[in-house]
Each structure stands twice: as C-alpha cells, then as structure tokens.
Amino acid sequence: MTEQQGLIPAPKGRATATNPPTRFDPVKLELDLDALDPGELRQSCTQFYEDTSRSILVSNDSPDVGFSWGINPYRGCEHGCIYCYARPSHEYLGWSAGLDFETKILIKRNAPELLSKELRKRSWKPAVVSLSGNTDPYQPAERRLELTRGCLKILSEHRNPVVIITKNHLVTRDLDILAPMAKRGLIQVMISVTTLRNNIASVMEPRTSMPVRRLDAIEKLSEEGIPTGVMVAPVVPGLTDEELPAILEAAADRGAFRAGYILLRLPGPVAPLFEDWLDRVMPERKDKIITRIKDVRSGQLNDPRFGHRMRGEGVWAQTLSSLFQVTCKRHKLNLTRKHLRTDLFIRHPSNQLNLFEPDDFNGF
C-alpha cells in the first residue's frame, strides 16, 4: 500500500486528508500544498465540542434496521472509518464529512441525565434501544468521558433492554454492568469485525481496536454470559469479501452465538472520500473494488433503496448471501434468537428494588 504522488497524505491516525464542501455550503477551501510544511499535513488534533441537545433518545423508522430507538452520546467519530455511513450527518452541523467527522466530536456530557429523564416519562413505552444508532459509543473519548457507561447504568436501573454495536475492545470495561443485565435478559452485544488483517484495518479503520482485540472482546463477553454476536460490517467487495468465512469461524470459536453482515454503503460524500482513499492506499486494487461495488449496486456506487442497501443485488450479492448462510450453519451461528425483555421495566427505580429478583417484580 503506497501513497501516489500528488495526492494529499492523510494525517497520522486518520483515514482521510480532505474536507470536501458540504451539500449546504457553496464555499470550498483548497489547501495550498506549496505553502504548507510537510509536517503540518501529518498533524490533526481532535477537538471536542459540547452538544446542548435536550433529548437523547432518537427514533428510527427504517424498515431494514433492527431497532426503533437509538442513543448517541457522541456525534462524529474518532475511529475514522473511511467507509462510515454516518459521515454525511456531520454536514448538518456545518462541518465536512471528511476530516471534520474524525476530528470535530460533539459530546453530550449530560447524556445519562437526559436518558433518565426520558425513561421516567409516562409517554415512554419500554423498548429495545441501540447504543448507538450512528457513531460508535465506545470511540476513544469514551475511555475518559464514560458517557456510554453512564447511559448503561441508567438503562440497567430502569431495566430497559439495549443492544450495543461497537468496534472497540473498550466495551469489556463495562462487564460489571453488562453481566447483571444479561442475567435479566436485557443486553446483547454485536462486535463489528470488518477484516482479520491488521494492515487493512490500520488504514481503513485507523483508530479502532485491532481485529484480534475485537475477537478477544467477543470471547470475554461470552465468558461472562453476555449474548454476543459478530457483525461483518461492512463487507467491502473486492477487498474483504474473501474473509467472510474466516471472520465467522473466528467469532464462533470465541463464543459468538449469532452473526450478521452488511454490504458496503457509500452514501453522498462518502463515495468520493472512499475513492480518494483507494487512490492513496491501494491504487492497484481500486479498479477491482469499484467494479465489484458497481456490480451489486446496479452500476452505481450506492443504492439507497430500502431492502437493497444492506445486501445489494445481482449474482455476486446472491453468492455472498449463500456463502454467509452456509458458513453460519457450519459453525452453528444464528441457531437461536434471544429476545430481550421489556416486561421488567421500572419507570421510577429505587435502591430497594435491588432486593427483588427479576421475576419477582414487574414495574411497568
């Protein structure tokens, strides 16, 4: 993997080097490479901003997403995955889907308090919520800020079920909260594993946990009785598709009970960012990857249609689906479906309620 001459190199630990203009801003800034010291191109510090939102639960009505409510303690993501479908959401904040998405992070410092307030409302009907529906709840800032941990404490107190989706080994820090929730049927964790190759992960997902660490997270969570699965997401045609069986096998060996996959999505500004990334880090594979993507997207780089955007269509997409099903069957994945409980919900929790076993009290 090499950088082509004439292309702007990405700062250290970042997936992209550019800030393309947003859909809402006609002004475009161009770097004057001759005026910059080479060292400046390699520097890019993360900046954090206070998010003053007055709510934390976000509803979702997409027919191909398996949850109706999400919690996003952070907006923007320092993991910096080049393919991230959430990048365009940064444009609504007046920032770019490019480097801004990785370096300008909004934090909801009062997320746990907001969540507690919303769960206490009579209008809240207990339902499974996702942590998170947009950016990773265990991105690097969580190690210091503990906003996700705070939200989990609130969900546990209210006995409201939650599904966690993350690429970060940091989720194992919260075993003390997750294990008791698992005993009550209130938690499920999906660890996203895109590739088993460190050299690919380090440039495609520069600040995520390395693949072996994600597999270790699956093992540690499973050993504690926490229902844990693997999400092969995204599958990058022509790059990581060949790893699908190996990823599923590795996850099953470490205790995963279920699996899923999502085909690469490149909405809006993500497509040109991804193409630029290919030009910089693996130009020799670009044509193959782009051609394969178009094969499953009706000749385009993206297909936003519900029912198609997650799986694609055509011969190659069908082959991938069949391979997934066969491999899951071989490794006994997806044999059972664990339904999270909503009947234990407590609208106004108190310390005294901890004396009761889950089946002894129905607080809703």
Cα 192 to Cα 77: distance, rounded to the nearest angstrom: 15
The three-point CA angle 328-333-334 to 5° equals 105
E strands, 25-116, in order? 47-50, 57-59, 69-71, 74-75, 104-107
pLDDT higher than threshold 80 for residue 286? yes
Share of the chain above pLDDT 70, in %: 86
Grade residue 30 by pLDDT with cuts at 50, 70 and 90: very low
Buried b (16+ CB within 10 A) or exposed e, 22-51: beeeeeeeeeeeeeeeeeebeebebebeeb
The percent of the chain in helix, strand and coil, each rounded to the nearest 5, is: 40, 10, 50
CB 20 within 8 A of CB 273: yes
Report pLDDT for 25.
62
Report pLDDT for 283.
96
Instruction: Please return the burial class of 180, using the count of CB atoms within 10 Å of its CB with bins 0-12, 13-18 and 19+.
Output: middle
Report pLDDT for 364.
32
At 148-163, the pLDDT tens digits run 999 999 999 999 999 9
Report pLDDT for 267.
94
pLDDT higher than threshold 80 for residue 358? no
Share of the chain above pLDDT 90, in %: 74
CB neighbour list of residue 259: distance below 8 Å, 6 or more residues apart? 229, 230, 231, 232, 248, 251, 252, 324, 328, 333, 334
Residue 122 Cα distances to 59, 116, 125, 150, 364, angstroms: 17, 12, 8, 22, 10
Hey, what are 245's tokens? 């069986």
Grade residue 7 by pLDDT with cuts at 50, 70 and 90: low
Hey, what are 195's tokens? 């590739």
Please compute the mean of the pLDDT values over residues 39-59 and round it to a whole number.
79
CB neighbour list of residue 303: distance below 8 Å, 6 or more residues apart? 297, 309, 312, 313
- When mean pLDDT is compared across 55-59, 71-75, 347-351, the lowest value belongs to 347-351
Mean pLDDT, all residues of the chain? 88
pLDDT higher than threshold 50 for residue 34? no
| Strand 187-192 to 47-50 pairing | unpaired
Cα 188 to Cα 339: distance, rounded to the nearest angstrom: 9
> What is the amino acid identity at position 228?
T
Residue 131: enclosing H or E segment and its boundaries? strand 129-131
At 223-269, the pLDDT tens digits run 999 999 999 999 999 999 999 999 999 999 999 999 999 999 999 99
Report pLDDT for 14.
85
- Identify the residue with better confidence: 122 or 32: 122
Inter-axis angle of helices 286-296 and 270-281, to 10 degrees? 150
Please compute the mean of the pLDDT values over residues 9-34 and round it to a whole number.
65
Report pLDDT for 310.
85
- What does residue 361 show for φ and ψ, rounded to 5 degrees? -145, 130
Report pLDDT for 38.
46
Q: Is 332 helix (H, G, I), strand (E, B) or coil?
A: coil
Its pTM stands at: 0.87
Residue 239 Cα distances to 34, 193, 201, angstroms: 34, 14, 11
